[in-house]
């Protein structure tokens, strides 16, 4: 069986890579102190969004794991605004950490992280949702954007 990485693993790797680049190759500071503190805002919002979304999955008694078949199409809570609220939250966390660090090199991880989500996780998840929920999911996709 092929090993599959969870998005949270990719998030952790992105955060570690950002910290490593900041420490080992900071290049130069581009966000001065105290403006770097504003990074706490997207970071905190990302954490809150992920906790809210995880709670919706648990309340609906369906899986949060992208490679498991969902039992229910959730369209309430954060899913009213984005089809992938956890990925929006994770991206906010990565952006928040970059701002907190304030150096140039960690920013290169942000688009790389988003590309992995866009090309590895999202297409597979959306195919599975379409297979599982058919026209209901197609109608949901017409109402709600993929990101924001």
Q: What is the pLDDT of residue 42?
A: 98
For tokens 């090199």, name the residue. 105
Q: How many residues does the chain have?
A: 148
Q: pLDDT of 45-67, one tens digit each?
A: 999 999 999 999 999 999 998 88
Q: What is the pLDDT of residue 14?
A: 98
For tokens 């959306």, name the residue. 126
Q: Which residues pair with 29 in a beta bridge?
A: 103
Q: What is the pLDDT of residue 1?
A: 38
Query: Radius of gyration (Cα) for the chain, nearest Å?
Result: 17
Low-confidence ranges of the chain (pLDDT < 50): 1-3
Q: What is the pLDDT of residue 66?
A: 86
If one counts every other C-beta atom within 10 angstroms of the C-beta of residue 54, the result is: 14
**Rounded Cα gap, residues 148 and 62, in angstroms:** 23
Query: In degrees rounded to 5, what are phi and psi of residue 29?
Result: -80, 130
Question: Three-state DSSP class for 25?
Answer: coil
């Amino acid at each position: 069986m092929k090993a599959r990485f969870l998005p949270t693993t990719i998030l952790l790797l992105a955060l570690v890579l950002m910290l490593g680049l900041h420490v080992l190759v900071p290049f130069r500071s581009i966000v001065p102190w105290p403006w770097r503190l504003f990074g706490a805002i997207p970071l905190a919002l990302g954490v809150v969004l992920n906790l809210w979304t995880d709670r919706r999955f648990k309340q609906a008694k369906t899986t949060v794991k992208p490679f498991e078949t969902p039992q229910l199409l959730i369209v309430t809570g954060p899913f009213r605004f984005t089809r992938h609220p956890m990925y929006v939250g994770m991206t906010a966390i990565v952006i928040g950490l970059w701002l907190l660090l304030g150096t140039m090199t960690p920013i290169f991880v942000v688009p790389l992280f988003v590309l992995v989500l866009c090309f590895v996780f999202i297409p597979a998840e959306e195919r599975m949702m379409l297979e599982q929920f058919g026209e209901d999911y197609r109608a949901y996709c017409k109402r709600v954007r993929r990101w924001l």
